[in-house]
Structure 1
Amino acid sequence: MTWEVLSMIGTIAFAVSGAIVAMEEEYDILGVYILGIVTAFGGGAIRNLLIGVPVSALWEQGLFFQIALISITAVFLFPNNLLKHWNRWGNFTDAIGLSAFAIQGAMYAADMNHPLSAVIVAAVLTGSGGGIIRDLLAGRKPIVLRSEIYAVWAILAGVIIGLKIATNSWELYTLFILVTILRVLSYTYDWKLPSRRLGVH
């Protein structure tokens, strides 16, 4: 049940963020739907390839495709004056998507009895894979690779699930809220990982 709820939350959050990015880049309606769908399902598709789940498993997610399409349609029809506040909400829905999908991906790998390293990779790819594809298709530098802390929170979720620190529903929901809050704090206060710039000669 927890898995289903997290999948639903993540699907809606990432479908919306993909649609908004497409509208910011002034894509047409087809582009908006494509970017929304790719953002919602891209991370899961990459994860499935890496942990040995047939990619065809994606096509069995009929309900989630419908949820994603409804979410994208709602955003497309949203009044412009409300979408102006998107920058504030955009990062927030992205944080929710990252958290929900990182936990869902880690649970998926853990249920298949994969080692800790695979659980962490599944968490990072599911949590940030859709966002990476979205940013690349929109011609943007992926959030994950910038110095602002992003993928670290997916790694944290993977470690906690891989070590079986969080196993029951309420622990997983608490972890979901924790990861979302940490991600929100990291972009609000501009927490950064160390980075090194090479001087231009």
Structure 2
Amino acid sequence: MTELVYWLDMAGVIVFALSGVILACRSQMDPFGMLVLAAVTGIGGGTLRDLVLGVRPVFWVADPTYLWVILATVGLSVVGFHYIHRLSRVFLPVADAFGLALFTVIGAHKALQLEAPGVVAVLMGLLTGVAGGMMRDLLARRVPMVLRQEVYATASIAGGITYVVLFALEAPWVLTISLALSMTLGLRLAAIHWHLSLPVFAWVEIAPPAPAEGDAGRGDTTSPSVRTKARVRMIRQKRGRSGPGDRHDEE
């Protein structure tokens, strides 16, 4: 199982590094900018995870192969720049979804191997999955995916819970990894395809009720405090297909 987890981790680094390269190309960065975004996305989440768990040294210091993989990914991307530039805009969120699923499982697995509680393992899976992408988006001056209304962190949490529960039940490790990956990836891809989103809370102004016909000439007799309470309320609503972050993607 250790070897499989290692290769899954390496695959996650490649996919996330590629997503960083794609975003760097769309942001018109030079090769060094591509390398920075690729490295931050590929190893940023895992670095924070190891620091929180007290793992010394962090994984890419103990095994520099991760750095060489990132360099190779960026190098091949520079050579094939024209092909990457032609990729559809849906490719970035899809690649990010695969990286999210892989890193969620890796983060939860590593925490459990260090005998961390289940809730900590779920949080470490979430941190590993979303932190690198958050840093990538912030460096590219985009609203991070995890902060948008789309189903993103929820998918990671669901995958982490699936892994922790099956691990506690001592399910076969192939089944545990497969179901956890499928849970995270399935939810995220479904959110991308059908534009699923979580409800959001927004402050809106609601006009006070119009006075009755008999009160038309009497003026407004409603006290200021009553008018204030009647005009500001919190509502629960669902966003449409696009939000501020989605419009930013189209720039």
Asked whether the two chains share a fold, i.e. TM above 0.5, the reply is: yes
Query: Aligned-residue CA RMSD in angstroms?
Result: 1.9
Structure whose residues are more often helix by fraction:
1
Match of 2:151 in 1: 149
Once structures 1 and 2 are overlaid, which stretch shifts more, 62-71 or 40-49?
A: 62-71
Residue 77 (structure 1) aligned to one of 71, 76, 79:
79
Q: Which amino acid aligns with 2:162?
A: I
1:40-79 counterparts in 2 under 5 A?
A: 40-79=42-81
Match of 2:6 in 1: 4
In 1, Cα distance between the equivalents of 2:57 and 2:134? 19
Question: Greater CA radius of gyration, 1 or 2?
Answer: 2
In 2, Cα distance between the equivalents of 1:173 and 1:134? 27
Per-residue deviation at 1:190? 0.8
In 2, Cα distance between the equivalents of 1:99 and 1:184? 10
Structure 1: which 5+ residue stretches go unaligned?
Answer: none
Residues 1:80 and 1:92: Cα distance change in structure 2 (over 3 Å): same
Q: Secondary structure at the match of 1:196?
A: strand
Q: Secondary structure at the match of 2:203?
A: coil
Q: Which amino acid aligns with 2:185?
A: T
Structure whose residues are more often strand by fraction:
2
Q: Secondary structure at the match of 1:147?
A: coil
Pairs aligned (count): 201
In 1, Cα distance between the equivalents of 2:17 and 2:151? 22
Higher relative contact order (CA 8 A, sep 6+): 1
Instruction: Decide whether the 8 Å contact of 1:106 with 1:157 is kept in 2.
Output: no
Match of 2:108 in 1: 106
In 1, Cα distance between the equivalents of 2:58 and 2:23? 27
Q: Which amino acid aligns with 2:26?
A: E
1:1-201 counterparts in 2 under 5 A?
A: 1-80=3-82, 82-163=84-165, 164=167, 167-199=172-204
Instruction: Decide whether the 8 Å contact of 1:39 with 1:131 is kept in 2.
Output: yes
Identity %: 28
Q: Secondary structure at the match of 2:8?
A: helix
Instruction: Decide whether the 8 Å contact of 2:160 with 2:180 is kept in 1.
Output: no
Once structures 1 and 2 are overlaid, which stretch shifts more, 10-19 or 152-161?
A: 152-161
1:69-104 Cα shifts (integer Å, max 9, x gaps) = 111222222242553224122111111100000000
Once structures 1 and 2 are overlaid, which stretch shifts more, 142-151 or 153-162?
A: 153-162
Which contiguous aligned blocks of 4+ residues in structure 1 show a shift greater than 4 angstroms?
A: none
1:113-138 Cα shifts (integer Å, max 9, x gaps) = 11112101101000111000001111
TM-score, normalised with respect to structure 2: 0.74
Per-residue deviation at 1:23? 1.3
Instruction: Decide whether the 8 Å contact of 1:45 with 1:55 is kept in 2.
Output: no
